[in-house]
Structure 1
Amino acid sequence: MGKIGFAIAKKLASEGASVVVSSRKEQNVENAVNNLKKLGFENVLGTVCHVSKKEDRSKLFNKAIEVFGHIDILISNAAVNPVFGLTEECTDTAWDKIFEVNVKCPFMLTKEVLPYIRKSDRGTIIYISSIAGLQPFSFLGPYSISKTALLGLTKVFAGELATNNITVNCVAPGIIKTRFSKSLYESEVAYETILSRIPLNRIGEPDDVSGVVAFLCSADARYITGETIVVSGGMQSRL
């Protein structure tokens, strides 16, 4: 799993949540679970889950129910971006892959978790989008569009699930230090260019995102739904 996903799992575990982590790679799952347990978190388990595969999604939810008995929170964090360049040059295959993982899978995860999360006293669903969904990144057009779609998914499900006392929100990170965004800041020129756009004058850390997610999962956020919170150090995103 990625650095943001691990930071979220660690933060929620530190606040008393039982956590199920997943990744399409078994080694990533094992590393995440082992590292969390080394930090003293015992109510943690992991399973391989390729979010594009229905059987893997079912296994994820079934394992959570089998071990912990209930599901109160869903965090949808998986994303891909196989292309870099002008949007008009994006192939059908790349476009389909981006929207399969970045948009359809969050929808399917939500749809399939609802029978479980509706049984919770207060359910929480959170999508990890990107500031690119509000202010598209140059040469990352298809990825940016897919992240914009998550803002709409948030609004629609927030309205439809409110009667079930389920809140649905979205977190839109800016430039965070992860492998995924490394190309945006790895060279000195790119680094200085990025810093010039961030009023807080630093690139974000995964823990900057996890704290916001934990807040949205807490009782303090029980009256917040349908919102997108930008975590970007002040990078321009909207009025």
Structure 2
Amino acid sequence: FGADLGAEKFFDIKCRKAGLKPAAAVIVATVRALKMNGGVKKEDLGQENIEAVKKGCANLGRHIENVKQFGVPAVVAINHFHSDTQAEIQAVKDFVASMGEEAILCRHWAEGSAGIEDLAHKVVQLAESGAAQFAPLYADELGLFDKINTIVQRIYRGSEAIADKSVRDQLHAWEQQGYGHLPVCMAKTQYSFSTDPNLRGAPTGHTVPVREVRLSAGAGFVVAICGEVMTMPGLPKVPSSEKIFLNEHGQIEGLF
């Protein structure tokens, strides 16, 4: 899930409700994901493609910009895969440096905590720098549809949110009932800044259709269902847990 979903919800909903003020953020990126955003098919991600990495970095750049919109300093953690080449990794580092930030290679999957020590030191440095000036994206007093539109325009870089009259009327009714101060929780595809899962990279100017809204009064937010997204994830008939077991030495097997 990109920072346009997870981070935005954390900053605009969780931090608002809990009174949290983040001091630093870590944006996790992979060379594989950047190549996919650069147009490479999933089955070809293991092959070196520096140009695709550079093209896909536009997606990473958008996430960096979005996190900085909340006034939180960020560092990019490159989650290392064994198929990543040095040239591809350097391309990511160079791009992030061009945006005035730092990208750190993390090898924790292979090396454990030692493989992520540099990142830990950087996070401490950012957190203790006092550079954070955190603020949510919108005020409580803003109208519900205006909050949705603010996220669409500032985080997704779309032109506007669109919705049928019935959706707008429902939002207005909730405002009349005293729920207008609630933040909004956007539900859309995790594969794109748009509602089209195949539109990769860093698209701009797209419309974001809101097909349905749901009031979660107890939780304290209004859910906006966008595009064709499903709100319940599909689960396999046979869960992975059935393949996980303890061997005769008391070690866990079947995790990978």
Relative to the length of structure 2, the TM-score reads 0.35
Larger RCO of the pair (alpha carbons < 8 Å, separation 6+): 1
Whose helix proportion is higher, 1 or 2?
1
TM-score by length of 1: 0.37
Q: If you compute each CA radius of gyration, which structure gives the higher value, 1 or 2? A: 2
